[in-house]
Amino acid sequence: MQKKLPHVCPSCSSALNVQSLICSNCETIVSGNFSLPLLAQFTPEEQTFIIDFVKSSGSLKVMAQKLDLSYPSVRNLLDDLIVKIEANEKTTDSK
Amino acid sequence: MKKWLFNPFVFIASWQALGFGLLLMAVTCVIAFFSKTHFDGVIDIHFGTSFPFWMAVFEQFNIWIISIILFYTTGLILSKSKIRLINIAGTLALARAPMLVPAIIGFAPILHRLPTANNLAGIALWSLALVLFSIWMIALMYNAFTISCNLKGSKAIVGFIISIILAEIISKVIVQQVYHHFLSK
């Protein structure tokens, strides 16, 4: 069963940070307060889109064929991701 | 199924939509010529006098091109995304597909003698059908505009309303001028 990584607080909807990481080899635990990487803050569907986009060498035409969507639909998905990335970057810069 | 009826542009746009759209517009031209159906405005349908075939073609393409100009311009002003003209042209061509049915409905004799017709039920039924297909076309045009220009919310609604009103006015003025200068004799 693949678990989804939560990145938004279910209580107050703020961004979640990482408090501890564990090494699966030697069971060392690293504790602190780490921000989630930008890409981990996206939904699984958005992450899949980004990965597929990179694998298609940035071709929207190939993405449209793969997703069975029209070119402007894929273009709009990409533009919406760009807006989200820029909003995340602004939030990170302001902290 | 619902998505394909009201927003096929999620799946088909650009050259494919243009191809299908132009084909359906061409068929509509031919049927409109024989059924004496006029499309003198973006959302207008009239039934009446005969006209030359070139006028049927002109009316369809006048509406389509004026719509492209207005919606593309509005998209450039309101949208932050890069807009491709082929997407607007293709989706708007396909959005006119429902008008094929009113062109066919134009064969109903009662629609050509409205001033003297007394079959109110018949007139009401045909009018309802025309209104429904017009609404379907307007819904398609709205989705064509929002998908091609990546607009949402109030920007999309206001932009669409202003564009369609202007397109209606401009296309009617152009058709009226063409009738006046080339067909009034």
Structure tokens that stand for B128 in this block: 């309802």
The lowest-confidence range among B48-57, B128-137, B175-184 is: B175-184
d(CA A64, CA A50): 13
Q: What integer is the mean pLDDT of B119-130? A: 83
Report CB contact under 8 Å: B87, A68: no
Residue A73: which of B133, B134, B3 has the closest Cα? B3
With 70 as the cut, is the pLDDT of residue A89 above it? yes
Q: What integer is the mean pLDDT of B33-51? A: 88
**Could you read off the pLDDT of B136-173 as tens digits, one per residue?**
999 999 999 999 999 999 999 999 999 999 999 999 99
* B36: alpha, beta or left? (left if phi > 0; alpha if psi -120 to 50): left
Tell me how many degrees the CA angle B40-B77-B44 measures, rounded to the nearest 5: 15
Report CB contact under 8 Å: B87, A72: yes
Is residue B40 within 8 Å of B169, Cβ to Cβ?
Answer: no
Which pLDDT value is given to residue A93?
72
Q: What integer is the mean pLDDT of B111-123? A: 72
Which pLDDT value is given to residue B150?
94
Is residue B88 within 8 Å of B75, Cβ to Cβ?
Answer: yes
**Could you read off the pLDDT of B70-85 as tens digits, one per residue?**
999 999 999 989 899 9
ipTM score here? Answer: 0.80
Banded pLDDT at B185 (limits 50, 70, 90): low
d(CA A60, CA A70): 10
d(CA B27, CA B23): 6
Structure tokens that stand for A64 in this block: 């449209």
**How far A14 CA lies from chain B's nearest CA (Å)?**
25
Which residue shows structure tokens 């609604």?
A: B157
Residue B84: which of A46, A89, A70 has the closest Cα? A70
Q: Pairing relation of β-strands A29-35 and A17-22?
A: antiparallel
Which pLDDT value is given to residue A95?
63
With 90 as the cut, is the pLDDT of residue A74 above it? yes
Report CB contact under 8 Å: A79, B10: no
Which pLDDT value is given to residue B85?
95
**How far A86 CA lies from chain B's nearest CA (Å)?**
13
Which pLDDT value is given to residue A70?
94
Residue B157: which of B139, B135, B133, B134 has the closest Cα? B139
Q: In whole numbers, what is the pLDDT of chain A averaged over residues?
A: 88
Q: How distant, in Å, are the alpha carbons of A56, A59, A60, B82, B87 from that of A65?
A: 11, 10, 9, 20, 16
Banded pLDDT at B114 (limits 50, 70, 90): low
Which pLDDT value is given to residue B66?
96
d(CA B147, CA B99): 21
Helix B120-149 to helix B85-95 angle (10° resolution) is 160
Report CB contact under 8 Å: B82, A76: no
pTM strictly above 0.95:
no
Which pLDDT value is given to residue B21?
95
**Could you read off the pLDDT of A36-67 as tens digits, one per residue?**
888 888 888 899 999 999 999 999 999 999 99
Is residue A34 within 8 Å of A5, Cβ to Cβ?
Answer: no
Taking the Cβ of residue A68 and every Cβ of chain B, the question of whether any pair is shorter than 8 Å is answered with yes
Encode burial over B63-95: b for 16+ CB neighbours within 10 A, e otherwise: bbebbbebbbebbeebbebebbebbbbbbbbbb
Q: Pairing relation of β-strands A29-35 and B37-38?
A: unpaired
